[in-house]
Every structure is written in structure tokens, then in C-alpha cells.
């Protein structure tokens, strides 16, 4: 079975600082994907970034980057130059087929990020 | 672009009542999913459908049934609602069965009294 662990229930960060949100995962799959989603207070789920397990380069999307350390089974999200609009819940998730496991993504419990002016 | 549409957005039920959450996607995706979100629990998979005509249980299927009516529509039914089913429900779809990004609906907030 797959498992995602996010150890930071909540974080306070000053505006314009960089933020690292931690995510570790556990899987027996050789091929898998790692995702980060943002959920603002309005409730919708917004896809941020994706990293495939065989991708050699860390994924980047604008101010978002994914620090992928395969040996450590970690997939931390880095937000550069944080903005007030980054205040939200952030979920780490993974995909992969475990030969009998459910399809779809397995989610962590989330990190509530608050950006302070 | 509509993407994934869920109805209703809000619903209040009494214990024992039944209801159906509707979900439709217009992206021609094969896979569709129902998740529930509870405080401090993240999103947990209730049921999924890898293709039209197939459905499978996820992590928390008890108390729910689903129907994949056609490629576009995937409904979630609560036959006899319980307070423990108070939650926010998300429908999602994906072009790829296991490796693809999920596209989510806006969520449906259900309260069972």
C-alpha cells in the first residue's frame, strides 16, 4: 500500500520568504508519480506540480519546484518568494499501481500554510 | 470550459435519508473518482471507475454505492445517511488510470443531522 506523510500540520511564513513543505512517501512501486495540490479557503483543488519517479530533473513550475530525493523517498515542495495568496492548504499525493491497489492518487493529510505580511 | 461539474454544492440530510451526488466531466476522461475530505484526514478515496461499466472500492467505501452511467457521468449514492458521512465530497477525473493528474470538481458539502 502507498502512504504519504506530511509532518507539518501548519506553518507561518513571512511574505517574500521561501517556503519548503515536507512530504515523504512509501511505496513498493517502481514507477510512480508525485503531485502537489493547493486548496485555498474557497475549497477548490488546484494542481501545482508533478514529478515522475524516473524523471532525472526536479520539476519546476514558475515559483514552485519539487525537491525530489528518491533514495530518501521525499518530495518536498519549495515555493520561492512567497505571496499572501499562497496562504492555503497544500496536499502531497502520489500515484502508482500496486497490482491490486486502488487507482487514483493517495493523499497526505496536508499542511496549512499561512503567509504573514 | 466546464471540466468536472458536481451537484449539489450543499446538502443537509437527516439520519437515514438517501441522496445521490452527481458528477459529470466533459474532458473525455476514462477514469473517475469520488473522494471525501474530513478535517485533518486529507482526501480519502471512496470509489473509482477506471472505465465505463466498471467500478471498484477505494479506501472508505462502506455506506456508499456508485454508478458509472456513461463515460461522462459518475454518481455517488448514500442509501441511509449517517452523521459520520458529514464531509466534503470531491469528484475527480483523469485521462490516465494510474499516473495522471486528477481534475477535481468544486466539491459538495454534505451535512447529516
How confident is the model over A31-87, as pLDDT tens digits? 889 999 999 999 999 999 999 988 889 999 999 999 999 999 999 999 999 999 999
**What is the Cα–Cα distance from B36 to B102, expressed in whole angstroms?**
14
**What is the Cα–Cα distance from A80 to A20, expressed in whole angstroms?**
9
User: Rounded mean pLDDT of B52-57?
Assistant: 91
The mean pLDDT value of chain B amounts to: 93
Flag if A104 and B48 touch (Cβ within 8 Å).
yes
Q: Which pLDDT band holds residue A100 (cuts at 50, 70, 90)?
A: very low
CB-based burial, B91-112: b 16+ in 10 Å, e otherwise: bbbbeebbbbbbbbbbbbebeb
Q: Which residues contact B41 (CB under 8 A, 6 or more apart)?
A: A109
Flag if B45 and A97 touch (Cβ within 8 Å).
no
Distance from CA of B14 to the nearest CA of A (A): 24
Nearest to B98 among A50, A96, A110 (CB): A96
Helix (H) or strand (E) run with residue A36 in it: strand A33-39
Q: Which pLDDT band holds residue A111 (cuts at 50, 70, 90)?
A: very high
Interface of B with A in 41-100 (CB under 8 A): 41-45, 48, 50, 56-59, 88, 90, 92, 94, 97-100
Q: What are phi and psi of B83, to 5 degrees?
A: -55, -30
Amino acid at each position: 500500500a502507498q502512504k504519504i506523510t506530511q509532518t507539518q500540520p501548519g506553518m507561518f511564513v513571512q511574505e517574500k520568504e521561501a517556503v519548503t513543505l515536507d512530504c515523504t512517501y512509501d511505496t513498493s512501486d517502481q514507477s510512480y508519480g508525485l503531485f502537489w495540490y493547493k486548496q485555498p479557503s474557497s475549497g477548490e483543488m488546484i494542481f501545482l506540480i508533478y514529478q515522475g519517479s524516473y524523471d532525472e530533473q526536479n520539476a519546476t513550475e514558475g515559483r514552485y519546484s519539487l525537491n525530489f530525493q528518491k533514495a530518501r523517498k521525499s518530495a518536498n515542495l519549495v515555493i520561492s518568494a512567497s505571496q499572501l495568496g499562497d496562504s492555503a492548504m497544500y496536499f502531497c499525493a502520489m500515484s502508482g499501481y500496486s497490482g491490486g491497489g486502488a487507482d487514483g492518487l493517495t493523499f497526505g493529510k496536508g499542511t496549512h500554510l499561512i503567509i504573514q505580511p | 470550459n466546464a471540466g468536472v461539474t458536481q451537484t449539489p454544492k450543499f446538502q443537509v440530510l437527516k439520519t437515514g435519508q438517501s441522496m445521490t451526488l452527481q458528477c459529470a466531466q466533459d474532458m473525455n476522461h476514462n477514469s473517475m473518482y469520488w473522494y471525501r475530505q474530513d478535517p485533518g484526514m486529507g482526501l480519502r478515496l471512496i470509489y473509482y471507475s477506471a472505465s465505463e461499466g466498471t467500478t471498484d472500492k477505494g479506501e472508505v467505501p462502506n455506506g456508499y454505492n456508485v454508478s458509472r452511467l456513461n463515460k461522462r457521468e459518475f454518481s455517488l449514492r448514500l442509501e441511509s445517511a449517517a452523521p459520520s458521512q458529514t464531509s466534503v465530497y470531491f469528484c475527480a477525473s483523469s485521462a490516465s488510470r494510474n499516473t495522471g493528474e486528477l481534475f477535481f470538481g468544486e466539491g459538495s458539502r454534505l451535512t447529516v443531522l
